[in-house]
Structure 1
Amino acid sequence: MLSFLPGFILLPLSIALVILNTALVSFLIGIQALLKLLIPVAVINHYLTRGCNFIMYGWLCGNALMLRLVNKVEWEVHDSTNLNRQGWHMVICNHQSWADIVLVGDIFRKRLPVPKFFLKHDLLYVPFVGLACWGLDMPFMRRYTRQQLLKNPELRGKDVATAREACAKFRTIPTTVINFVEGSRFTPAKREETKSPYQHLLTPKPAGLAMAINALGEQFEKIVNVTLAYPDNQERPFYDMLTGRLTRVQVWIEEIPVTAVQRGDYLKDKPFKRGFQQWLTGVWQRKDQQLNER
């Protein structure tokens, strides 16, 4: 509605809307998170978590309002799914921008349970936001370099164990777990630095995903594979979204049944580990082909 306004007006307006929405939601969830800390009773925590999820849904709606208020987006959605809002789903997606979080939340807010994201551990210490994400039981992941693992072998598999413990908390309430499997936003420089074999993607990190699927076992009904593209805004889609210049979004959504190929002990079962890596490589190859042919 306001996309006709110049970017220097829309930018502070968008930022203000995002900050106000996030601050209000973080404050309200933070109160319930403190109650979860002070009253460690499973039944009470169950209902407090439901309250946190309801408020989180409000955050998704606020982001969707900002997106539509500031931008006039043409959506090109290729969707072959039949989703269940009362089930458990793992959403895997390529990661190009902070705008991905807004868009994925908008796409699924009325079709799937409130999403939980795999977050970098540093976000735990962001005032209000970190407490709110903890209250929502979101997994905080540490990324260790090869050098760190060589110096401290006991760190190997620690982030995977964190994913498993976090996902175990989702057993009682229908949940969507969103995993940007590449672990970082795609840029051509990162692709070269990491020697990614893909043209439009970074190499996916399979361990955390495998452990998350294994943690919920039979409860995960399906994997929802999402591929995002910003054909007119490839360089800086988040900034363009805030300034009303996001014009077109392409989305491919497909369901992948959870079978023995995705469910197993990634750390101890080497044949399963190889099979899981091959499966995820195939998924990423298809994603890269979709992005190459768009």
Structure 2
Amino acid sequence: MSLIKGAVSVLLLTLNTLLWCPPVIVLALFKLLPSVWLRRHLLDALEWLANGWIATNNLWIRYWLKPDIRFTLPNSLSPDQWWLVMANHRSWTDIFILQYALAGRLPTPRFFIKRELLWLPIMGLAWWALEFPFVRRYSREQLERDPGLAQRDQQATRRMCANARQRPMAIYNFLEGTRFTPEKHRRQQSPYQHLLRPRAGGCAQVVDLLGDRLAGIIDITLDYRAGQSGFGAFLCGRTGTISMNVRHLDIPSWMHEGNYSSDAIYRERFQAWVNTVWQEKDQQLSSQEF
């Protein structure tokens, strides 16, 4: 039965994507025209289409998959403000769960996307048109050999934040930079039991570029201990219970008083703050009750 459910889920997801695809492609082509006014209004239309895609996905998730997702949201959430959302990362399931739980409560989401996914059919074009930041992942050794590589990701984030200042936006960042696997956990020698090492650079740049427009940081801990996190299991309705701990963190005043790229002391302080958040997540994921 689960295989049938999975096949129908794939069909519904494909049909929904194809339904919203043609207008996205047309609007994306118009974005190539050199008009700031036109690009701004096209982005409004593209966001409306993206929200339609998410809303339709949520219908088949709610009435076909019927996942057991347990969470409580802070009362402070608003779709009319700017937010930085950070979460741990297990699989593609995370994205659908976050969109399912937060649709209508936060503005249109933007995710940091690996640059390789730009070439994904249909979705890559949609992400480009919606001005998601495409980032590359470099090892510490690569950055030490060529520090200029970090500037490429910063430029992508800067472009997104420049547009974000014109309209409310929720910027999502999986700070681990990749999906959790036991092999990655071992290779990293992660100090956390359930998590990979977080990277603070993306969050720091969003805080710097959006400044006091940010209403706060939404910290989300996804817990699949009672089931499976794989995307295939999700499509087949076999995830079991999924728990989300969602909390609103105020932005400390010192975060607005430094530069992550050029100030080593500020960079260490920001990374230490992120490490503390990750320690709290790990404690939550190690507890008997979530």
Same fold (TM over 0.5): yes
Match of 1:242 in 2: 235
> Is contact 2:67-2:237 (8 Å) kept?
no
Match of 1:20 in 2: 15
For residues 240 and 42 of structure 1, do their structure 2 counterparts lie closer, same or farther at Cα, with a shift above 3 Å needed? Answer: same
Match of 1:3 in 2: none
Match of 1:195 in 2: 189
2:6 is equivalent to residue 8 of structure 1: no
Match of 1:279 in 2: 273
The residue identity in structure 1 corresponding to 2:233 is D
> Is contact 1:27-1:128 (8 Å) kept?
no
Output the TM-score relative to the length of structure 2.
0.93
SS of 2:225 mapped into structure 1: coil
CA distance in structure 1 between the partners assigned to 2:3 and 2:242 by the alignment: 23
CA distance in structure 2 between the partners assigned to 1:86 and 1:96 by the alignment: 29
Alpha-carbon deviation of 1:65?
Answer: 1.8
SS of 1:116 mapped into structure 2: strand
Match of 2:52 in 1: 58
CA distance in structure 2 between the partners assigned to 1:9 and 1:252 by the alignment: 31
Q: Which of residues 132, 156, 164 in structure 2 aligns to 1:162?
A: 156
CA distance in structure 2 between the partners assigned to 1:215 and 1:165 by the alignment: 10
SS of 1:32 mapped into structure 2: helix
Q: Which of residues 136, 140, 146 in structure 2 aligns to 1:146?
A: 140
> Is contact 1:113-1:175 (8 Å) kept?
yes
SS of 1:18 mapped into structure 2: helix
2:248 is equivalent to residue 255 of structure 1: yes
CA distance in structure 2 between the partners assigned to 1:290 and 1:23 by the alignment: 39
Alpha-carbon deviation of 1:162?
Answer: 2.2
The residue identity in structure 2 corresponding to 1:223 is I
CA distance in structure 1 between the partners assigned to 2:122 and 2:70 by the alignment: 35
The residue identity in structure 1 corresponding to 2:283 is Q
Please tell me the root mean square deviation across aligned C-alpha atoms, in Å.
Answer: 1.6
Match of 1:108 in 2: 102
The residue identity in structure 2 corresponding to 1:142 is R
For structure 2, the residue ranges without an aligned partner over 5 or more in a row are none
Alpha-carbon deviation of 1:53?
Answer: 0.5
Match of 1:121 in 2: 115
CA distance in structure 1 between the partners assigned to 2:73 and 2:182 by the alignment: 28
Match of 1:181 in 2: 175
CA distance in structure 2 between the partners assigned to 1:262 and 1:30 by the alignment: 39
CA distance in structure 1 between the partners assigned to 2:111 and 2:124 by the alignment: 12
For structure 1, the residue ranges without an aligned partner over 5 or more in a row are 1-5
2:26 is equivalent to residue 31 of structure 1: yes
Alpha-carbon deviation of 1:164?
Answer: 2.3
Output the TM-score relative to the length of structure 1.
0.92
Alpha-carbon deviation of 1:187?
Answer: 1.4
Match of 1:43 in 2: 37
2:68 is equivalent to residue 74 of structure 1: yes
My pick for the range that moved more, 11-20 or 156-165, is 156-165
For residues 220 and 186 of structure 1, do their structure 2 counterparts lie closer, same or farther at Cα, with a shift above 3 Å needed? Answer: same
For residues 79 and 109 of structure 1, do their structure 2 counterparts lie closer, same or farther at Cα, with a shift above 3 Å needed? Answer: closer
Alpha-carbon deviation of 1:81?
Answer: 4.0
Q: Number of aligned pairs?
A: 287
